[in-house]
Every structure is written in structure tokens, then in C-alpha cells.
Structure 1
């Protein structure tokens, strides 16, 4: 498994609600595979949760019950997605949400994954403390990331998160001269208190300096 932070799978779920523990299910998965910062593959599918979604979810996501009626089952889609992500570390924006649904859907089909999970929202809160909001749409605007205005659809959000992640990696390179950071470092950044980030990264920068 590649440990570089620029070679990962970025994913996003659309769901029937906030909690798989309360019976909510995934209704769409979107993901992009990055290799050395470039998109080399994509995965996207609607999935039928086996019950009607609420009017609020239809309005919020733009995914209607009519669209889901002919979609493959969650089990079928998630089995394919399990194959897609093997051997890769994973990233999502507000990753705790997506990881809950990934784990819940995989548990239902007795599948698992071998990668670790990072969160671009937590990294943003630490690398860009000057920003007042770290919602994906607000970060897309703040960083002037090119987009087509589509949000709350899984593949579009995964694409935006991938571009945001690249900006975060570029920030490390420009501000701290950390080139090609490891995935482990990005997870460490996400868990470090905001006030300790600068000291952490200045120490880490010494490890990434080219050897004479």
C-alpha cells in the first residue's frame, strides 16, 4: 500500500439520513482514485436502499425516489466498491460521517478494507485557521477551486475534496517545504491541537529536507 498522501482514494456518500445506527442507508457513492496527485480512476453509482427516501433528502441531494427505483441494491454496489478501494488509503471531507456509512454497509455484506481514513475537514481547520468555515462548499469558494456548482452529489463532492486535498499538500510544500508528505503525517496533522500545528510542521520539515 502506498504511504504517500497524494496516492489515495477520495470518497463521498449521499445517504437517507445521518445515522446508520438509526437505520439510514447509503443512496449514492462517488470516489476518485489519485496516483501522485492525478485522477487515474473513478467510481460512481446510485443504490437502492430498499425504502423510499424523504422529501427533504430528495431536495437536498437532487436524488429522487424515481432515480433510485431502478438502481442496483446497496449490497451489489458496495461489493463492487470494496474491490475498488482495496490496497488504498482513504479520504473524505468530514470523514467520520462517511466512515460510519462505509463500515455499516460493509458489515452488512461481510466485506472490509485495509486502508486508513483521513479527514480533509480536520486538516483544513489546522492548516487554514484563518478561515471561518470549513464546510466543503465554503472551502471551494475560499480557495477558488474550479467547480460546476454541483454539491451534495457524491462524485462531484469527491472531486472537489480531491482538489482541496491537493491545495492542502501544496500548502505544506510552500509554507513548510514539506514535499511528498506521508499519509501518516496528514492523519497526525488532523489530530494535533491547532496551537501546536506550526511547531509540529517545522519539526517535520527537517525530515523532508533533501539529503546533501
Structure 2
């Protein structure tokens, strides 16, 4: 299965269309349910970080003043991702910053996105919430001690995606939950989900099992997400 890049941004606000800029980016490269590489950096944009954002993330104006320039960071991030498709928890947020920051760096952003919020609403409709930290805890996955930092959140989103791929294989007999399937799944109406997944399972050849986050022992978990 081809790698998927799981991304998270920390920012000065909600939308680049309202003048918000990124303060930190992290990307976790996930392949066959296992983390194979990571990228993380603060970035200097010149934008002011409001106090409530600093309280939420711990990222201060002084920290980003010492960081690399945003354009350089984003070009490095784009090289790291390459042609891999991307996933984020609330992708409508992160994809806008990915595209906006790369545009400012004169770098194309052709990567398609899928959203683990939308996917979790299909696969775990009974979860009490689909916010990242509580959902990860609900599913018994590793939860970062310091949320609202880009790498910690990207790690949790990657663990969530690996769990989804495992559950699709074991509960729905979909042997290869690749990016194309994830994109179709997030668009599928909840009531039509069983029939849609049954069709996908019949259309795919079986694959050899792999160890994912949902199956791993504590010792194996360190190998998957460290």
C-alpha cells in the first residue's frame, strides 16, 4: 500500500482567508499501518500570535521569531510529502493552510486530502465525540500528553487512521483501505455504508495481514509510533 502523509498545522487563527498564518507544521508518513518517517518544524511568518493561541498551543511569538522562514519550511515539507496523498483530522482546516502557505512559497500543492473526522463519523458513529483527543482515547489508542502541538496531533491522527484501516480489514473484510477507498468512504452516506463496503470488499483481492496500531502489543506500539 502506498504511503499516506498525515498532517497537522498550528496557526494564529482559523482561516488563511482571514489573514491567519501557520506557526508549526508536522507530517507523519504512514505506510501499511506503520509510521515510516516524520517531519516537524516551527515557522516564522511575521504574523502575531494572540495570547489565547499561545495558551492553547504553548507556541510563543519569541519561539517563532527563532524559527526558519515559513517559505523554506513549506518547501521542505512539500519535498517530504512528494506525491503522497494527505490526511488530516478536520482536513478542511489543514488543507487550506497547506495550499495557502505553499502558494506564498511559490510551490504547487496538488496533493488530495481525506479527513479522519468524516471517516470517523462513518466508522464510529456511536463515539461520544469525533474530536481527535477524546476519540483516540475512546478507541484505546496512544494519546499525546501535549495536544495542540503539530507533531503530537499528527501522531494521534496517524494512529487513528491506522486503526481505521485495521477495522476496515477485520470488521468489513476490506483488505486494502488505500487512499482512494478512504476518499470514497468519507463521501458515503452512513445508511448506505454496509452495502458500499461489501461491494468494495468483493472487488479487492485478499492481502497478507500486517501489524497495525489496533493489533499491537505495548512493545510493538513503540515500533509503530516511535
Same fold, TM-score > 0.5, yes or no: yes
CA distance in 1, matches of 2:189, 2:173: 21
1:79-98 to 2 correspondences below 5 Å: 79-98=75-94
Unaligned runs of 5+ in 1: none
The change in CA–CA distance for 1:209 and 1:40 in structure 2 (over 3 A counts) is closer
User: Retained in 1: the 8 A contact 2:22–2:43?
Assistant: yes
Q: Does 1:32 align with 2:28?
A: yes
Say yes or no: does 1:69 pair with 2:57.
no
Shift of 1:36: 2.1
Conserved 8 A contact 1:85-1:113? no
Q: Determine if the alignment matches structure 1 residue 106 to structure 2 residue 106.
A: no
| Distance of 1:115 and 1:192 partners within structure 2 | 21
Gaps of 5+ in 2: 208-226
What does residue 50 of structure 2 align with? 54
Distance (whole Å) between structure 2 residues aligned to residue 129 and residue 197 of structure 1: 11
Question: Which structure 1 residue ranges, 4+ long, deviate > 2 Å from structure 2?
Answer: 208-211
Give the total of aligned pairs. 207
Superposed counterparts of 1:1-212, under 5 Å: 4=1, 7-210=3-206
**TM-score by structure 2 length?**
0.87
Q: Cα deviations across residues 177-201 of structure 1 (Å, max 9, x unaligned)?
A: 1112221111111011111111111
TM-score (norm 1): 0.93
Flag the structure with more relative contact order, 1 or 2, with Cα contacts below 8 A and sequence separation at least 6.
1
Give, in whole Å, the separation in 2 of the partners of 1:147 and 1:23: 31
